[in-house]
Structure formats: C-alpha cells, structure tokens
A and B are shown apart, each in its own frame.
Chain A
Amino acid sequence: MHPRRRAFAFLATAAAVAATGTVASLAAQSSPRSPSAATPKRGGHITIARIEDSTSFDKTNVFQNESIWIAEQINESLYEAGNDGKTLKPWLATAYTKSKDGKTYTFKLRKGVKFSNGKPMTSADVKFSIDDARKQAKGWGYLDAAIKSITAPNPSTVVFHLKFQWAPFVADMALFANGIIPKNFAGQSRAAFYKHPVGTGPFMWDKRVVGQSVSLKRNPFYWQKGKPYLDGVTWTFVTDENTRELQLRGGQIQVDEFPPFNSIDKLKKTSGVTMSLFPSTRTDYLDMNELYPPLKDVHVRRAISYAIDRAAIVKSVLFGYGTPANSQLPPQVPYYDKNAGGLQYDLAKAKAEMAKSKFPKGFKVQMLVGSGAQVENTIGQILQSALKQLGITVKFKTEDTSTEFNDIQSNKYQLGFSYWTMDIADPDELVTFALDPKGGAFSFYTHYNNPTVTALSHQAQREVNPVKRAALYAKVQRIAASQANLGYLYYSPYRWAYTSKLHGFFVQPLGNYHLEDAWLD
C-alpha cells in the first residue's frame, strides 16, 4: 500500500476504535444501574475527606473526633455500643458477671483474637491497656476513676475491682480510650507506639503524610472472619467544604465528612451520591470562659444565652436540619430531661439580665472561630450582631480548627465554639466533663463551678437505681441550664455524603463508624 494510504488506513481504524470505545463507555454509563448486590464484595480502597487533620492517635489522651474515629479502627474495646447508641454489645469480651456488692466485674475474653502483629490478645494485654488508660490524668483517666485494681487470673479472664458501685462502668469500658493494646507497648516506648499504634481492630497502620492524609490498611489477623471487606482507607484533610463536595462529585473521594448544610438538599438529588443524615448525640455549644471576668457573672451568661436566636439559626444556617438545644444533654442520651429549661431566645429578658449584671453597659469580648468552618463563622456573625444590642462588642479571632480546639483546651479564649458527641451510652461522661471542674476538663474549659451540681453528679454516678438516677440528672440539667454554664445552641444529625457505590457505611449516634462493615460495589 502507498505509505500515505497506509497511514490513512491506520488513522481511520484508530479513530473508529476510539469512537467505538467512547460510545461504548457512554452507553455503559447511561444504561440503568443494576440493583446493588446484597452480598458484600471484597476489595477496594476508600478516601474520606474531612475539615480537620488528626492531631494524635494516643486514644487515651486525645479528645478530637478526627483522631478518635481513626483510632477506633485500630483499637477495640471489651464491649462496644450497638447501632442504637444505647445498648452495649460484647466485643473483645464475650460476657461479664457482676458481684453482689456491685464492686467486682469479671469479664470473659473472646478466644482467637489477635493483634495486627500476629500476637494473640490475652488478659495481660487488657490489664496493661486499662491500667495505662486510667493513669492519664490529663486525658480520659477520669472515666476510669472508679477502678481500684485489675487482675488477670488466667489468660482469658480479667477482673476489675472497683472502689465503689459505679453505674456507668461497662459503658466506660466500651470507651475507645479503654481500647486494648499489646502489653508493654509491643516493646516500644509509649510515644513511639502511639505514633503508629497496634491493635485488634479491622485496620492497621499504613502511613501518614503529615498535613495531608492518614492511611490504614486491612488487618490480616482480624477476628471477624471475612471482614473488613475494604483493602484500605485513607483520610485526607481538605478545609474547604466546596472542594470536598466537588471532589466527591468528581469521584476523587468516596466520602465527604460534614458537607455544608446548604448542600444537603442538592446532594439528596444528586445521582451517584448518597446523602445520609444519621441520628446523633451531637450538641453544639457556645463556650464562655469564666476566667474572663465578665463571663464569670451568671447574669451576663444568661443574657448571652437569651440573646441567641436558635430557631433562626436552625432555619438559616442549618437550613432546617437541626433543633434548638435546651439542655446540656442531647435527646439521644439516657436521662435527658426535655424540661431542662435551657434558655431560649428572648431579647427583652437578655437586656434585663444585663441590667442586673455587674456590666450593665456591656464590654468587649473576643470570639474564636475556625477558619473554613462556615457554620461557626456564620453563627459568629449572627451572635456578633445580637450581642451588639446588649452593648457587648465581639471581635473575631480566626484560627485553624484544630488550633482553635487546642486553644480552647488550654483556656486561651474568651468566647468559643465547641461541640460534643457522646462517646459512651451514659450521661456521666458528658456531665462530668462539662460540669465538674475536676472532671478532666475544667467544666468543658469554662471553669464553671457549682458545688451543688458537682455533688449531684457524683451522687448520680453511684446510684444504680434508674429512677433515682433520672431524678438526679434532671436536677443537674435544670440547675446548669438556669446558670447558662454554656450557651446551648442546637442539636443536629451527622451529615455524611458518600458515593452510592459504598454500602454498609453507618454512623452511630456516638459519631463513630465501623468500617469493617463497609464495602464497595
């Protein structure tokens, strides 16, 4: 063949092939989707994008959700919360018995559980883990305060001796901070171990690119046979909500953590995307640091709390996906009192409270907001405008959200935003954290100190009768609400948008998710 014609023929063929391929792939995309199979498929890797980067994987000392939810894929506990967020399921333990006086708990450990390094889990590991956890005075140690000692009579039995009766004990054992690690930190120093922890969970440490991503891969020794289905998971750090959404739509990521409220309606209608609103125990608060004199005045705090138009916030910032908060506790938690009486919007009462306070003419205050946290920034501006009517001038300080969190933790703030998701199916954790100045967090970093409330809380911890306990917690909630220890803002569901190819992804009311159940089409 003439060279030119040969070339032409080749080109024509190539073009034809290309055209066919294009048509074929287009056709494949437009054909009706086959219904997703009910049987999980093995394999695949998912990427989850979130607004904050994890700060630490030391589960005994970290309070940041972005770190906790990853740590939970690595380390597991004796019992874990069920999908309703209230019942407790045996997990690394199969059963427990409680002594008559309620001060001794004996747990039977599950057989055949191995760490990701291949070594079997024994009672020595459990004892070591919990002993280590309860030593963390600046961390979650406060939840294990009731434990007097732990013994391991044989490799599959662990016995806890408590100082006194402790109602939330098993719920506490289900906390991630009490997750089981190899004894003696698998031969490493504590610090080195927690840079890439080892556990019994479905996933094990893969790698971390600081400031960008954390990756975990399948734990080949996982005790639940056949799981996890996924080969691995990567969590990336993308501060911009828009970018995350665009990445999800473009298939770059599979899961978008907390898409903006204003996108929910649109995402619900987007094909290929599942927009889920999971019932949550999430409550958002305005933190008022009592170390700043004006905020120590209860009338000032009541005034501020009265000035927050929660209904308007729910409508215009949450686009209706939330409810005004009226108590320290969220409705999903046992012993929540719907008559707790958290102050609601009333500008006249707000002004009256200011008049009664020591700062009737108002004062200047600094509000911490997270950069890229659209909801916070918007609410901040709403509050700035509302508080101006009380003579309070708000100046913003914008910080990265993790830094903001750190600053609040170290009390370097005046007004700030926080949220809480329960970590155990019991009110004690939050009540202690938020209202007990010695509860590990200086009363949610506000230094709120009301001895009556503290005493009631301690009583409730040891009260095993549910009716009496309910009454105690009701009192606690009412007193705290009337004193506006925090500005209770709103309750909202967990918002997760993910590709419709992902199945088995479920976020519990406690906020965490079990990735061993997830699989990709």
Chain B
Amino acid sequence: MGAAAESFAEAAVIEHRSGFRRRWYRTPSFVAGLSILGTIILLALLAPVASRHDPVQQNLLDILQGPSRTHPLGTDELGRDVWARLLYGARTDLRVAFLAVLFPFVIGTAIGLLAGYFGRWVDTVTNWFVNVVVAFPFYVLIIALVFALGSGTRNIYIAITIVGWVSYTRIVRGEVLVAKRREYVLAAQAGGLSNLRIIVRHLLPNVVTQAIVFAMSDIVLDILAIVTLGYLGLGVQPPTADWGKMIADGQTYLTTHWELSTVPGIAVVITALGLSLLADGLADLLRPE
C-alpha cells in the first residue's frame, strides 16, 4: 500500500477507537449481547437476593418436585431448589470461564507479540509449540491434563491455559506481522526507542483488539469445556452448583424428569448466545471503517 493509504489506515486505527464510543448503541448485536449477558451476570451477582434458597441445602422429603410458589423451577433429586442452583451455577461457571480465559489471553498475547516482533528463531520455536498443541483435539488434551493433575478448579485453569494460549498467539502474531511494517513502528525504531517500549506502547494497543474479540468467543468455548468436564465428572466438585454437573445428575431421570437436564442446558445456550452476540458486535465495532 502507498504511504497515503497507510496513514489513512493508521488514522482509522485510532479513529475507530473513538468511533466505538459513538456507535456501540447502534450496533444491534452488541446491544443484544450486552443485554443478555448483563442480565445473566446481574442475576448471578444478585443470587442471594434473587433466590432465598441455599443451593446446597438438601431436602430429602421434597425431591423431584415440579414448579411451585416456593420453588419456581421445582427441586432436583436431592430436594435442592433448581432456580437457586441455576443462579449459583451461573456464578461458578461464569467466574471460572472468565478467569480461565484470562491466563491464556495474557500468556498467548505476550508470546504472540514476541514471536511476531522478533521473528526468526523465536518465531520458529513458537510455531513449533503452537503446531504441537494444536495437534491434540481440544477436549482430549484438557481431559488428559485434568486427569493427570487431578480434578478441581485450580487444575481446570492450568489445563485450559496450557491448551488455550495457542489461539491468542496465532492471532496476535498475525496482527504483529502486519503492524510492524507500519510507519509508526518504523519511525519508533528509527527514533531509537527500546524494543520493549515499542512492543508495549505501540504494538500492543493496536493488536490486542482482535485478541479481545476472540476472547469473547473463547469464553463460550471455556464455558462449554467446564460444563463438559462437569458432565464427565471431572469438573467442579459437588456440592458446588455447576451447570454441567446438573445436566449429568439429571440424566438418570431423563425418562421421568427430563427438565432436570434440559433447563441447565438452556441456561448454557442463552449465556453462550449472549457472549456470541457480544463478540460479533465487538468485531463489527472494532473493524476499521
């Protein structure tokens, strides 16, 4: 591209950040996603208020009840209130999913920056690592790691981090490869700024947006992973409420009380929908005009 085009693109990079502020409420997917997700997060945060029941409180004389005034969604096989477990399950799963995205995001972005900027052997080695991890099906590696490390949320974070950093590295590296040819980077280098300064202050802000967009859909993937681990019995430990475990526990009663498995599943779908809409909207907003 000619110099004019480049500075035009340059301006766009800066411009769309302010455009964001002006346009977000006019982007339907962003608004929809935010509303859905916002509602769920709000409900999760207000769980103690939204439901007066304790999600782990068993009531063995009132199991498998249908919806009623005291139990809006009925009770499960141990007499626990389903609505309460749904809300507290949201807390657990959302919290774990958000945190589980953070570490790969940070680590992956950092590695991507280094690989893209320095190139040569750093890049080759990074690519090798990436290709090796990518060779394993996502769930297979996560499950194998959780098995090796043991169950529990801490090991879920570790497992997801080991497997998940790859996508961020690829995205950021790609962005860096393009960005480092830009005028402002070349200028900074000519001006004698240290590599670290260039990476952190000039490259990072411009390449991270794509990573953030991806992070939104990555959260969906992580929620699914956590829920799947819960279903397999390798996830969050009882009695903590978790949507995956709820689906698994409900499966025994599939033929008599199918709602026990269906309802938490719908919760997952709605949450994922909200996040996907948000991700789409964000991608739309952050795309240069």
Contacts and interface: CB of A to CB of B under 8 A. Distances in A.
Contact of A266 (B58, B63, B233, B255): B255
A517 interface: no
A97 interface: no
Interface stretch (A121-129, A140-148, A381-389): A381-389
A219 B251 CA distance: 40
B89 to A, nearest CB: 15
A242 B233 contact: no
A262 B237 CA distance: 24
A385 B63 CA distance: 15
Contacts of B255: 242, 245-246, 263, 266
Contacts of A260: 252
A381 B255 CA distance: 22
Nearest to B63: A316
Interface in B221-251: 233, 237-239, 249, 251
B237 A396 contact: yes
A371 interface: yes
Interface in B10-64: 56, 58, 60-61, 63-64
Q: Please report whether the interface of chain A is mostly helix, strand, loop or mixed according to DSSP.
A: helix
B237 A371 contact: no
B238 A384 contact: yes
Interface string B44-88: 000000000000101011011000000000000111000000000
A382 B56 CA distance: 10
Contact of A262 (B61, B78, B239, B252): B252
B252 A316 contact: no
Given A245-B255, A371-B233, A385 B61 contact: no
A316 B238 contact: no
A242 B254 contact: yes
Interface in A284-319: 309, 312-313, 315-316
Contact of A316 (B60, B233, B237, B256): B60
Chain B: interface size category = 20 to 34
A72 interface: no
Contacts of B214: none
A381 B256 contact: no
B253 interface: yes
Interface string B249-269: 101111110000000000000
Contacts of B254: 242
A377 B76 CA distance: 14
Nearest to B237: A396
A373 to B, nearest CB: 10
Interface of A: 240-242, 245-246, 260, 262-263, 266, 309, 312-313, 315-316, 371, 374, 377-378, 381-382, 384-385, 395-396, 398
16 contacts: A242-B251, A242-B252, A246-B255, A262-B77, A262-B252, A263-B255, A312-B61, A316-B61, A371-B233, A381-B238, A381-B239, A384-B239, A385-B239, A395-B237, A396-B238, A398-B151
Given A377-B249, A382-B60, 14 more contacts: A242-B254, A246-B255, A260-B252, A262-B64, A309-B60, A312-B60, A315-B61, A316-B61, A316-B77, A381-B78, A382-B78, A384-B239, A385-B56, A395-B237
